[in-house]
Amino acid sequence: MSEHLLIGLAGVLVLGIGAQWLAWRLRLPSILMLLLVGLIAGPLTHFIEPDKLFGDLLFPLISLSVAVILFEGGLTLRLSELPKSGKVIFRLISVGALITWLFATLAARYILSLDWVLSILLGAILIVTGPTVVGPLLQQIRPRGQAGSILKWEGILIDPVGALLAVLVFEAILEGELTHAPNLIASGVFLTVIIGVLLSVVGAGLLIIMIYRYWIPDHLQNGIALLTALAAFVASNELQAESGLLTVTLMGIILANQNWISIKHIVEFKENLRVLLIGSLFVLLTSRLQLDDLLGVGWQGLVFVAALIVVVRPLAVIISTWRSDLTRNERLFLTWLAPRGIVAASVASIFAFELIAVGHTGAEKLISITFLVILGTVAFYGLTAGIAARRLGLSEQNPQGVLFVGAQPLARSLAQALQNLGFRVAMIDTNEKNVFTGQMEGLTMYYGSALAEELSHDIELTGIGRLLAMTSNNEVNSLAAMHYIEHFGRKEVYQLSLQNAEKRAESRHQTPMHLCGRCLFDPAMTYTELNQLHEDGHIVKTTAITETFTYDDFQAYYEQKAVPLILVAEQNTLLLYTTNQQPVPKPGQTLISLAPPINGLN
């Protein structure tokens, strides 16, 4: 028995993380792969049986996991984003939520033929979208403009709103009188807001004070932050059912927007934990499904899902964005992303069990319908949202643009060459002269430190897929690389070293590998040598490699003195030359190099 439990628990973790890695390799939405893996591991093979693994602990563990995910989501919300998008966000989680509730209720009543009690409850449950599904999709799509920020805020804030509303409706059902629901909802919302605000302020305040006064050693700060969030969540839920989700969300927002302590290490820890939790939760909940229950919903279930996607969500967005400054394409994209996730699944499961226990007819359908909605919306939005964003001009499938840190003449010349080839570039520098010169040359420039949090939030990263740190300070380059790893991933973060490969290998004071980006360009070249070549007359040259002018011809023409920098390969993919990656250009590709003058010409 113990071996079976061990295999099952390990299987959940392995499948949860493995599915996300496989989705990344195949460039598919991770949520879609998690659902597929969960279906295979659960109803198809019975390899994972969550109820046997966890028993009565399953839903408490899910609740705590969702609390951690929402806490992490709150840590990503910046109040500086609200002046532009605040009105639309508020409308979506208030007016939009009510519209979703109303029309989802009508669809459940007249399409699924549920009684009014279950229809009203199902409508309330399906208000939620949630960061467990919206977050990974936004991370993959990375839409430009206000749409991404609005969806991120809505996805995080709508969870406590929807869960609270569903709980209050459920309590009214148990009392046996839905006519009391408005008063019950009003008093419940009031109590939830009061409790959520008070406990979040107390929890965040205690954590800030303890870290600010160095009462917590560095190695325990992540653990204490997690402990504080979970304690606030449980205490809040004890005072008012399902108010804990709002409490931990507000707690995260408070921590993210204060200036007394740094929370970057806490954010990084919670991001890693979120990946583990999302993978495990989706595998667990999907593996609980019974295919017969899903199929038993019939064609009416598919029509119901279609109504949510085609009618309910567009209506909620159209009314919520009325007379806003959003563009038409941003509004259209908002209508195209409302997948349901963990909170809807867990709330529906809990309510169904309790309604079945009190003998409510048809309550068992809640679980199968909710999971059908989750499967349908995740599959639809997961497969089409990225395409929609690209068609609407809000995203790129595989962004190849470059963000430069450092705007000295060589970096500007390289940026200009990339921009002339159609790639998006942006540059950051603390030197006003470099910034002004770059602007005069038609480049997108940002004045300030690449390490400043506010500047990193202001930079428009749509179309940009990598960082090149090319300043004269090796520590600044390394810090910039570390700062932007969360945006681009370690694979696409590069820096220009002040030492060549041989000296770096011999140096006792070299920067550790985990604290720097990939080293750029020729292993024998340094920042100083490359900039000296540029000052001596070498120029950044763009050369098309063809069958009649091969790379060997190119090298012979420049007497082996040209330094390859970047290769534009098939499908406009950029391949950067690094100390351990020296691609050989092929016909049909374009080489960007630092080339010497030949007889006074280039």
Tell me the per-residue pLDDT of 226-265, one tens digit each, with 9 for 90 and over: 888 899 989 988 888 767 878 888 888 888 888 888 777 7
On the CB side of 399, CA atoms within 13 Å amount to 29
Are 425 and 402 in contact by the 8 Å Cβ rule? The answer is: yes
Tell me how far apart the alpha carbons of residues 375 and 377 are, in angstroms, rounded to a whole number. Answer: 6
564 bridge partner residues? 593
**Average predicted confidence (pLDDT) for the chain:** 81
Cα 263 from Cα 261, distance rounded (Å) = 6
**Residues 248, 71: Cα–Cα separation, whole Å:** 5
Domain spans of the chain, in order of start: 2-391, 401-595
> CATH classification of 401-595, choosing from 2.40.50.140, 1.20.1250.20, 3.40.50.720, 3.90.1150.10?
3.40.50.720
Q: Do 401-595 and 2-391 fall under one CATH topology?
A: no
By DSSP bridging, strand 574-576 and strand 563-568 are: antiparallel
Domain 2-391 has CATH 3.30.390.30: no
Question: What are the tens digits of pLDDT across the range 543-594?
Answer: 998 989 998 889 888 888 888 998 998 878 888 888 888 888 899 899 999 9
Question: Which residues are within 8 A (CB) of 68 and not within 5 positions of it... i.e. 6 or more apart?
Answer: 226, 229, 230, 248, 270, 273, 274, 277
- The backbone torsions φ and ψ at residue 548, rounded to the nearest 5 degrees and listed phi first, read -90, -15
Q: Are 257 and 453 in contact (CB under 8 A)?
A: no
Tell me how many helices (H) and strands (E) the chain has: 26, 10
Grouping H, G, I as helix, E, B as strand and the rest as coil, residue 280 is: helix
Confidence (pLDDT) at 454: 65
Helix (H, G, I), strand (E, B) or coil at 497: coil
Can you tell me whether residue 213 is helix, strand or coil? coil
Q: What is the pLDDT of residues 72-124, one digit of tens each?
A: 777 777 777 666 777 888 888 888 889 998 999 999 899 988 888 888 888 88
Whether the per-residue pLDDT at 160 is higher than 80: the answer is: no
Which pTM was predicted? 0.71
- Between the CA of residue 476 and those of 226, 267, 465, 472, what are the distances in Å? 31, 22, 20, 8
Edge-first strand order for the sheet with 464-469 is: 445-447, 425-429, 401-405, 464-469, 493-495, 518-519
Predicted pLDDT at 505: 47
Please enumerate in sequence order all residues whose Cβ is within 8 A of that of 419, keeping only pairs 6 or more positions apart, or say none.
425, 442, 443
User: pLDDT of 479-514, one tens digit each?
Assistant: 888 878 877 878 888 888 776 545 544 444 455 555
